[in-house]
Amino acid sequence: MNIVVLDAYAANPGDLSWEKLKEIGEVAIYNRTAAQDVAERAMDAEVILTNKVRIDRELMEALPKLRYVGVLATGYNVVDTEAACEHGIVVANIPAYGTMSVAQMVFAHLMNICNRVAHYSEAVDSGRWSTSQDFCFYDTPLLELAGRTMCIVGLGNIGMAVAKIAQSFGMKTMAVTRKSEEELHCLGIQKANSYEELFAHADVLSLHCPLAKDTMHLVNASRLALMKPSAILINTGRGPLIDEQALADALNSRHLYAAGIDVLSEEPPVSTNPLIGARNCYITPHIAWATKEARGRLIDIAIENIKAFMEGNPRNVVS
C-alpha cells in the first residue's frame, strides 16, 4: 500500500511518531504541500492523508491509483466527496478525537475573559501590584459564571462536553439542537425553539455546529443585535459561522462584551481581518484541537481507519 501524507506538520510537528503508519505500507511524508505539487507527490498514491490540502475532482482524475483519502480532521470539506463516489474512492474522517481538548479551549477563552489571568500576571511582573495602595489590585471587571446561561449551538460530542462543564460551574444551559425536549430535560438543558431565542437568552454563546449553507454567517448583525451587551461569544467551531465584520462592529460599539475566537474565515488571516484588534476580542490561532493528546488520537484513528479499509471494512466513511 502506497501512502502519501501531504501536510503532516500540523498534526505532528515532531513530537509524535509515524512509525505505526510505516508498518502498513510504503509511506512518503511531507510537512507541507503546495497546490501545484500535489499531483506529482501523490502520483503513485493508493492512500492520501490530508488535513487542509484540497483533493478535488481534477486531482482525482489525475491519480488513477488513488483508492482512499483520509482526512486528518473531523471536517472534510477539503475533499470533493461527490467526485470521490463517482471514482470509487473512499473518503474517511476522524470524529471525536479532540472533544475534551476543544471543550477545554472553550473554557480557556471564557476564563481569560472572566478572570484575565494573563493580564494580571503581566501587571504583577510590571510592578503594578507592588505599587498598589491596596492589598489587592484589579482594573478590569471580574466575572462569575455561576447563575449565567450558557447557550450552545449544536449538541454533538463537543457541545455536550461544553454543556456538562458549564453545569459544573453552576451555569444554566440552553441549546438549539435536533434532540427532543424530553431528552434535553434529562440532561438539564433547556431547548431553544430558534436561533433568535437562543441569542437573546445567552450570557455566553458557544458555537459547535457544522459549517453548511444554512449555518454560514449564523452569527450576523441581526442576531447580534438580539444579544445582551454583557454577553460573551465563543467560537471554536468554524470561522465562517460568523460574519466577522458584524461581530467586530458589535464589539467596538460595546453592544457585545467580549469574544473568544479560535477559528477565522481565512487562515492564516489577512492583517486587515476586522476581528484583529477589535475591542475585547481574544483570538487564538486554531489550536483548540492541537493538544498532544488529541493529535496522538488523531494519528492513531487515521491509521486504524486505513487498516479497516485494507481489510474491506472501511469505517468513518463520509463519501
Domains and CATH numbers, the chain: 2-97+292-310 (3.40.50.720), 99-283 (3.40.50.720)
All three cell numbers of 136, joined, read 489587592
Handedness of CA 102, 104, 109, 110 (dihedral sign): positive
164 sits in which H/E element: helix 157-168
b/e map 269-278, b = 16+ CB within 10 Å: beeebbbeeb
**Which residues are marked as active site?**
238, 267, 286
Q: Can you tell me the distance from the alpha carbon of 57 to that of 50, in angstroms, rounded to the nearest whole number?
A: 15
Position 36 scores a pLDDT of 96
Q: Which residue do the cell numbers 474517511 mark?
A: 92
- β-strand partners of 152: 175, 206
- Which residue, 245, 213, 241, is CA-closest to 153? 241
Handedness of CA 130, 132, 137, 141 (dihedral sign): negative
Position 121 scores a pLDDT of 97
Q: Which residue do the cell numbers 512518503 mark?
A: 28
- β-strand partners of 282: 260
| CA distance to 29, 105, 276, 312, 315, per residue, from 21 (Å) | 10, 29, 39, 18, 17
Tens digit of each residue's pLDDT, the chain (319 residues):
999 999 999 999 999 999 999 999 999 999 999 999 999 999 999 999 999 999 999 999 999 999 999 999 998 989 999 999 999 999 999 999 999 999 999 999 999 999 999 999 999 999 999 999 999 999 999 999 999 999 999 999 999 999 999 999 999 999 999 899 999 999 999 999 999 999 999 999 999 998 989 999 999 999 999 999 999 999 999 999 999 999 999 999 999 999 999 999 999 999 999 999 999 999 999 999 999 999 999 999 999 999 999 999 999 999 9
In this structure, the strands spanning 281-283 and 258-261 are: parallel
What is the CB neighbour count within 10 angstroms for residue 72?
A: 25
Residue 93, sorted as left (phi over 0), alpha (psi -120 to 50) or beta, turns out to be: beta
